[in-house]
Amino acid sequence: MSSTIGRRKFLQLSTFTAPLLSFQLPGKSAVLFTTKPIMVSTWDEGKNVNAAAWEVLAAKGRAVDAIEKGAIYIENKISCCVGLGAYPDRDGIVTLDACIMDEHANCGAVAGLEQIKHPLSVARKVMENTPHVLLVGNGAQQFALENGFPKEPAVLSEDAKKAYQEWLKKNQYKPVINIENQTAGVTSKRENGPFAPFFFEDGRPNHDTMGMIAMDASGNLSGGVTTSGMAFKIHGRVGDSAGIGAGLYVDNEIGAATSSGVGEEVIRICGTHLVVEFMRNGYSPELACKKAVERIVKLNPAKAKELQVGFVAINKMGQHGGYSIQKGFAYAVKTMGEDKIYQSKFLK
């Protein structure tokens, strides 16, 4: 038998394998292989979140279940920016935001939730047990209690209490009755400020939101976000983390994306939806994230110099990528053969 392939057979194989060739337009994805399952989470702590979620994915469970398990892990820890142990708003109250989205475009979210330990699990109940997407404030808390979530004490963690007391001293904020009759140098509610800083004094960004996206062994995508929002924010402020299409978006035909950073800037461009749409147009996850970052910077280049926003995304081939405005944004990836933290590329 001849060791060569006939012309007709070659053409048949070429037609069949054309989508697998590595030729591509600049910045566009080439279809090479599919990595699944895969779990991706924002920031260094995402590595531990991924480990918790991986128990579900390794057992061929659903991505949405893995997302919830990862969220529960981080919500149980004491950190600056996630869970009831996080830093409070400027009135000394910890309020939580979260959202979740599955492979069928089902989604649920809560915002301004107080004294409930697991906001992402409450968001999932909103998704599964109601016709709504978003519940806020007292209504979100009432819904949580009605669905069996215990009401936790309204106390600050020791770390949060210390940070809040130091912030009060330096900002001279006194949210008390009749503060309108203020003395010089005292910041009051009448002046609207002080506002949440973009960075803490040690240089850490004031927004270590935990964003999570995953693809399970069946090739289905899901994602979730959980956060306490920016420390010392105005009471009632909600960022992008409870916003489907802002802090999280999942399209099971294309990919998924999540964000971390100054949420107002992500909201302005419907950031994660934009990232997924760039991937729909053929861009790799990294390039899709970069183009969304460039959109933010283009709106206000001067302002962008003073803040951080980062995006991370995965596509249906299991490719991942991230991009941020400033240096310092990281995300963690877990697959069958990889468990790694990546430092994203950045513009500035």
The per-residue pLDDT for range 107-137, each reduced to its tens digit, is 999 999 999 999 999 999 999 999 999 999 9
Q: Which pLDDT belongs to residue 188? A: 47
Selection from 308, 290, 296 nearest residue 203 by Cα: 308
Q: Which pLDDT belongs to residue 171? A: 83
Quick check: is 318 in a domain? no
Tell me the percentage of the chain whose pLDDT exceeds 90.
78
- Report residue 293 as tokens: 């970052």
Quick check: is 151 in a domain? yes
Quick check: is 58 in a domain? yes
Q: Which pLDDT belongs to residue 86? A: 96
Q: What are 168-193's pLDDT values in tens digits?
A: 988 877 665 433 344 444 444 556 77
Diameter over CA atoms, the chain: 98
Q: The pTM is what? A: 0.86
Quick check: is 317 in a domain? no
Q: Which domain holds residue 124?
A: 31-253
- Report residue 47 as tokens: 């590595």
Strand 320-324 and strand 345-346: the pairing is parallel
95: pLDDT strictly greater than 80: yes
Quick check: is 125 in a domain? yes
Question: What phi and psi, each to the nearest 5 degrees, are found at residue 133?
Answer: -110, -40
Q: What are 275-310's pLDDT values in tens digits?
A: 999 999 999 999 999 999 999 999 999 999 999 999
Q: Which residues are catalytic?
A: 209
Q: Which pLDDT belongs to residue 173? A: 75
What's the whole-number mean pLDDT along residues 77-95? 95
Secondary structure (DSSP) of 17-76:
HGGGS----TTBPP------SEEEEESTTHHHHHHHHHHHHHTT--HHHHHHHHHHHHHT
19: pLDDT strictly greater than 90: no
- Report residue 90 as tokens: 């400027």
Where is average pLDDT lowest: 79-83, 115-119, 212-216? 79-83
- Report residue 248 as tokens: 């999280």
Quick check: is 205 in a domain? yes
Q: Which pLDDT belongs to residue 208? A: 73
Say if residues 97 and 227 touch (Cβ distance below 8 Å). Answer: yes
Q: What are 130-149's pLDDT values in tens digits?
A: 999 999 999 999 999 999 99
Number of domains in the chain: 1
205: pLDDT strictly greater than 70: no
Quick check: is 10 in a domain? no
Task: State the pLDDT confidence band at 28, using cuts at 50, 70 and 90.
Answer: low
Quick check: is 194 in a domain? yes
